Amino acid sequence: MLLSHFWNFICLCETRVDYRIYDKDSDGKTKNTHFFEMLALAKKRGIKPEAVAMDAWYSSRDNLKSIRSHGWVWVTTLRKNRIVNRNIQLNKLDISEEGTSIHLRGYGWVTVFKFIAKNGRIDYRVTNKDNPTREYVKSIMDARWSVEVYHREVKPNCGIERCQARTSRAQRNHIFLAISAWFEQHKRRISEKITLYQQNWHVIKNAIAEQIRGVISIHKLGLCETRVKIKLNCIGSFVKLTFNLLELTLIYFYIEI
């Protein structure tokens, strides 16, 4: 399992600043241990985040105290059955639109906001910031979504889970190289102001164009009834395409050869 630490510049861009590989059998470290270490290293590097955002899994009392010890604000999601105000489940409270102060056992006072999604899902978002606004909490949690987007991109596009090596060292090297590949893709998307889908299509389009150029140079348009099978190697896997030469002229102009 991969634990990621992102630093998000809200409304500008985001960048990965640290990661850990969860392998308790080899190093004996839990996810929370990695969490503490990444926070300490970020502090040592001089990073001053506006807020530390994480999902409900990392919202334990010790984790929240660890963030507070560094002098940072945190924003997280609490599960609906979390016990607050001594002996009340969070989902039993009447939470106002502007936020409600609650007491977390063993931590102290925080502010909770209730967000209801279009599909009816309810999220209880909590922060230790003084006098927070609903818009502030929403902006921080929206920025946190970039972590989910990163994992969605690095798995299928950079093959981070496709290592066939057996040794731990080789697998760790593969993970590092996959992350490095994602970095290069991400930098290009920022510099050229393109989306992930535009970037992937550019690779496919160029490969198709080169194959069709070769077909046109060999076959004359009089062979309109001949079907040509084109194999192109795209992003590590073979994609099989079949074109009818009756459509070559239209395709020719569409892909801007």
Q: What is the pTM of this model?
A: 0.69
149 touches 8 (CB < 8 A): no
**Domains defined for the chain, CATH in brackets:** 2-192 (3.90.350.10), 197-254 (no CATH)
Q: For residues 225 and 244, what is the distance between their CA atoms, to the nearest angstrom?
A: 7
238 touches 232 (CB < 8 A): yes
Query: Mean pLDDT over all residues of the chain?
Result: 79
Both tokens of residue 216?
């046109």
Mean pLDDT of 216-222: 59
CA angle, corner 211, sides to 205 and 215, nearest 5? 135
Mean pLDDT of 194-215: 82
Confidence check: pLDDT of 65 > 60: yes
18 touches 5 (CB < 8 A): yes
Question: What is the structure's pLDDT at 16?
Answer: 61
Confidence check: pLDDT of 233 > 50: no
Confidence check: pLDDT of 29 > 50: yes
Question: What is the structure's pLDDT at 15?
Answer: 57
Q: What is the pLDDT of residues 86-138, one digit of tens each?
A: 889 999 999 999 999 999 989 999 999 999 998 999 999 999 999 999 999 99
**Higher local confidence (pLDDT), 246 or 225:** 225
Concatenated DSSP letters of 94-115 = ---TT-EEEEETTTEEEEEEEE
Question: What is the structure's pLDDT at 75?
Answer: 96
Question: What is the structure's pLDDT at 236?
Answer: 40
Mean pLDDT of 167-188: 88
Q: For residues 30 and 24, what is the distance between their CA atoms, to the nearest angstrom?
A: 6
